Chains A and B, each alone.
Chain A
Amino acid sequence: AQSVAQPEDQVNVAEGNPLTVKCTYSVSGNPYLFWYVQYPNRGLQFLLKYITGDNLVKGSYGFEAEFNKSQTSFHLKKPSALVSDSALYFCAVRHIMNYGGSQGNLIFGKGTKLSVKP
């Protein structure tokens, strides 16, 4: 069964410092990996995704994530955090059996609350 783990309920960072939000996954085939952000009283907003190719993917608002197949991880990173980055971050995975083959639904982690203090 496929699953996603976000081991930290909350991450606290000072403004200007680098931030990392962790995500590990478990799938039986090849993964499609996604990061979404949710601001208060809003729906989820797509940040970035890994499908294939370069392990480092860049997304919106200066965020990036690195796909690490051996560690089954897809951590979200940003070199310099902003107070406005404070939000709830969700990692999600969909497994693909041999690219282009059968696929499961998108499975979300429970979310990590990021708090950036000035």
Chain B
Amino acid sequence: ETGVTQTPRHLVMGMTNKKSLKCEQHLGHNAMYWYKQSAKKPLELMFVYNFKEQTENNSVPSRFSPECPNSSHLFLHLHTLQPEDSALYLCASSVGQGANEQYFGPGTRLTVT
């Protein structure tokens, strides 16, 4: 509905697994973002990409590895996660930053067992 899709919508993984989250935007935007949403906490910005270049890494542990092959696609590669990494991971995009609003995908609900 918003022009930003995320797959999978739900993911359960063990602490030794490797998985990837995918985000795709069909809006022609040039900036893309990964956020983490945990219960009772504000949204946490994880990574920002502008024209495929990473412009922000908000002190995210190395077990999260982003990839932005082009302005329409964004991945989040996951490995050796911890149970506290269980959360809703949201992808967003915008026309640049500044005054422009962000459009969010529906999120991937991640559970680490």
Contacts and interface: CB of A to CB of B under 8 A. Distances in A.
Contact of A111 (B2, B6, B42, B97): B42
Contacts of B6: 43
A90 B4 CA distance: 19
B97 A103 contact: yes
Interface size class for chain B? 20 to 34
Interface in A44-97: 44-46, 49, 51, 90, 94, 96
A107 to B, nearest CB: 8
B45 A43 contact: no
Nearest to B45: A105
A49 B99 contact: yes
A44 B90 contact: yes
Interface stretch (B14-22, B65-73, B74-82, B102-110): B102-110
B106 A96 contact: no
A29 interface: no
A106 B45 contact: yes
A42 B106 CA distance: 5
Contacts of B58: 105
A44 B105 CA distance: 8
B45 A109 contact: no
Contact of A103 (B41, B45, B98): B98
A116 to B, nearest CB: 22
B45 A110 contact: no
Nearest to A3: B42
Given A32-B99, A103-B97, A45 B42 contact: no
Interface of B: 2, 4, 6, 40-43, 45, 48, 56, 58, 90, 92, 97-99, 101-107
Interface of A: 4, 32, 34, 36, 41-46, 49, 51, 90, 94, 96, 103, 105-111
